[in-house]
Amino acid sequence: MSHELSQEPIATETDVPTDSDGDVMIEVEGLKTYYEDGGLLGGTPVKAVDGVSFDIHRGETLGLVGESGCGKTTLGRTLLQLEDATDGEVRFDGVDITTLEGDDLHEWRRNAQMVFQDPESSLNDRMTIGEIVREPLDVHEWETPQARRQRVKELLDTVGLQREHYYRYPHQFSGGQRQRISIARTLALEPDFVVLDEPVSALDVSVQAEIINLLEDLQDEFGLTYLFIAHDLSVVHHLCDRVAVMYLGNVMEIGPTEELFTEPSNPYTHALLSAIPEPDPTVERDRITLHGTPPNPRYPPAGCPFSTRCPARIRPAEYRDLDDELWNRLNTLRELLSERQRADRSVRDRLRAAVGKDTRFGTVEETYDELFGDLEVPARVQSVLDEIATLARDHNESEAIAVFNEAFGSVCDDEPPAYHDMSDGGHQSYCHRHTDEYRSPDAVIENRHG
């Protein structure tokens, strides 16, 4: 079902082009990138990118935002074939590049380049600036060596450095200058598409604006298409035409920048935006605090990826009157249970449990005391909790989780949501609350946190 749903945005986007001048350059469809790091033993892979679909239009800047670890860098690297896609397609001008190999891949690499995050690490400091910027030209045997040197000098000029810098070493440059060198190298092969992986986050604030301006100028000059990966939302707001918001390997919301910033649809976008300091102090906006940490991408939730922390999570009708604080505690309990369930798979923990030594999670009583000790728990909730406690004490976590879900779970926990169109401009959000059955996220958040 989820696969079907994830195809939906493509259909809508190709039918209704968002940009007036926007023909589609890159189509990403159902892309998954999993890391197997278990070596020979396999094990559960890390689901860094877990089925995303979107388009990038020629000449636009698409922002990709999210907390660190949400998979945005992996997504960018997969688009450039620096990581192998586990599943799905990336069509670059109609060609699926995930299947390219050998000479074809080598040729294609000219078209797509990357500016890396850390200018300290992205330049080999045993080579001169000239050698660094020239290397892509050498690799692709671009014209004659003489012409390559000439081109490198022009490139240095283009990015605001001097031609004499050809024979200097990276050590002799500041962070901002190094990033310029990195950009010059990126431009060497005249790519169409550039992934900018947090290109300014490692720089001084004073230098950031210069680099951003440079990137904008270059885009105009050479007609570049950017995928701008960032966690600084104000830069994204300034630079990007459209924005995609990622959480735990999924795109939660995508849409034109202005629309997304002024009228966010997805609860996660709401939470992210509420963290930006409001420039206008008269506007009242409460900060939505998210509880807990993102789940382990090895074991993402079965339903909506955001369901463990969502401030607008759909609650079962019979418990709708419960206090928000109690819901937070209940969510934490659920987290603990699933953690215990995974940890319990280790033989050592099982042995310790068998000889009466409780594992590192402490006893159920302690946990309960910590979570619910200071709250008033209604009797009907308490009875479910007691049932869960009994099961947990016997180390029957999966059963305990089943009981929890039976009582407190909802569609958010069980089924992945679908993408819903928010406007004609290709604005989409990945949330159950956009169906008619439920209240919209805005209303709920207003209600719960307002």
Partner 1 sequence: MSVSESFEPTETTDESRPLRERVADNPGPARFWLLGTAVLIALEFGRYIGWVYQLVGAVKYVIGLVGLIPSWIGDSVGEATVPIVSYFVSDTITLVLLFGIAVLVTRFTSWSAVDQFDIGLSDRIVRFLERAVVTAILATLAVLLAFTPVGGLVNGTIDGVFNTLSSIPTLTSHEVISNQGHRTPGGGWDGTFLGLSPAVAWGLRTLLVYTYALTVIVWSWKGYTIFRDHYRQADWTPRDDTLRRFRSHYWGLFGLIVVLMFIVTALWAPAVSPTTADQNIASPYEYEIEYLNDDGEVATVTPGAANLGSISTNQNTVGPMSYDDYDRWAPLGTTPSGQNLLTHIAYGAQTSLVIGLLAIGLGGLIAVTMSMLTAYYKGIVDILTVLTSDTIISIPAFLLVMMLSVIFGDHPLAEPLNGGLLLGLIFAFVYWPGMWRTIRGPSLQVAEEEWVDAARSYGQTPANTMRKHMAPYIAGYIMIYGSLLLGGIIISTAALSFLGLGIEGSTPEWGRLISDGRQLVSTPSWHVATIPGLMIVLVVTGFNALGDGLRDAIDPEADTGGADDTGTAAAGGGG
Give the binding site for ligand SF4 (CB under 6 A): 267, 304, 306-307, 310, 312-314, 412, 417, 431-433
The answer to whether 255 and 423 have CB atoms below 8 angstroms apart is: yes
Q: How far is the CB of 76 from ligand SF4 (least distance, A)?
A: 24
Q: Which does 222 bind (CB under 5 to 8 A by kind): ligand SF4, partner 1, none?
A: partner 1
Please report, as ranges, the residues that interact with partner 1 according to CB under 8 A: 39-40, 77, 80, 82, 102-103, 105-106, 109-110, 112-114, 116-118, 121-128, 135-136, 139-140, 146, 149-151, 153-154, 157-158, 160-169, 171-174, 176-177, 179-180, 182, 185, 188-190, 207, 210-211, 214, 221-222
Q: How far is the CB of 111 from partner 1 (least distance, A)?
A: 11
Residue 70 or 235: the one with the smaller Cβ distance to ligand SF4 is 70
Q: Which does 389 bind (CB under 5 to 8 A by kind): ligand SF4, partner 1, none?
A: none
Residue 64 or 271: the one with the smaller Cβ distance to ligand SF4 is 271
Q: How far is the CB of 332 from ligand SF4 (least distance, A)?
A: 16
Residue 138 or 370: the one with the smaller Cβ distance to partner 1 is 138
Which string of DSSP letters, residue by residue, matches 81-107? TSS--SEEEEEETTEEGGG--HHHHHH
The answer to whether 399 and 387 have CB atoms below 8 angstroms apart is: no
For 419, list phi and psi in degrees, rounded to 5. -80, 130
Q: Which does 439 bind (CB under 5 to 8 A by kind): ligand SF4, partner 1, none?
A: none
Q: Which does 432 bind (CB under 5 to 8 A by kind): ligand SF4, partner 1, none?
A: ligand SF4
- Which of 424, 351, 390 shows the shortest CA–CA distance to 17? 424
Residue type, 220: D
Residue 380 or 448: the one with the smaller Cβ distance to ligand SF4 is 448
Half-sphere exposure of 325 (CA within 13 A, CB side): 7
Residue 106 or 342: the one with the smaller Cβ distance to partner 1 is 106
Other beta carbons within 10 Å of 132 = 23
Q: Which does 309 bind (CB under 5 to 8 A by kind): ligand SF4, partner 1, none?
A: none
Q: How far is the CB of 434 from ligand SF4 (least distance, A)?
A: 8
Q: How far is the CB of 227 from partner 1 (least distance, A)?
A: 13
Residue 223 or 362: the one with the smaller Cβ distance to partner 1 is 223
Q: How far is the CB of 37 from partner 1 (least distance, A)?
A: 10
Q: What is the dihedral of CA 315, 320, 323, 329, to 10 degrees?
A: -30
The answer to whether 168 and 153 have CB atoms below 8 angstroms apart is: no
Other beta carbons within 10 Å of 383 = 12
Residue 75 or 403: the one with the smaller Cβ distance to partner 1 is 75
Residue 318 DSSP symbol: G
Q: Which does 124 bind (CB under 5 to 8 A by kind): partner 1, ligand SF4, none?
A: partner 1
Rama region for 415: left / alpha / beta (φ>0; ψ in -120 to 50; rest): beta
Q: Which does 312 bind (CB under 5 to 8 A by kind): partner 1, ligand SF4, none?
A: ligand SF4
Rg (CA), the chain: 25
Which string of DSSP letters, residue by residue, matches 27-47? EEEEEEEEE--SGGG--PPEE
For 205, list phi and psi in degrees, rounded to 5. -55, -40
3-class secondary structure, 320:
coil
- Which of 50, 24, 14 shows the shortest CA–CA distance to 252? 50
Q: Which does 310 bind (CB under 5 to 8 A by kind): partner 1, ligand SF4, none?
A: ligand SF4
Which residues does residue 26 pair with via DSSP β-bridges, in sequence order? 56, 92
Q: For residue 141, count CB atoms less than 10 angstroms from its CB and return exposed for 0-12, middle for 13-18, buried for 19 or more.
A: exposed
Q: How far is the CB of 304 from ligand SF4 (least distance, A)?
A: 3
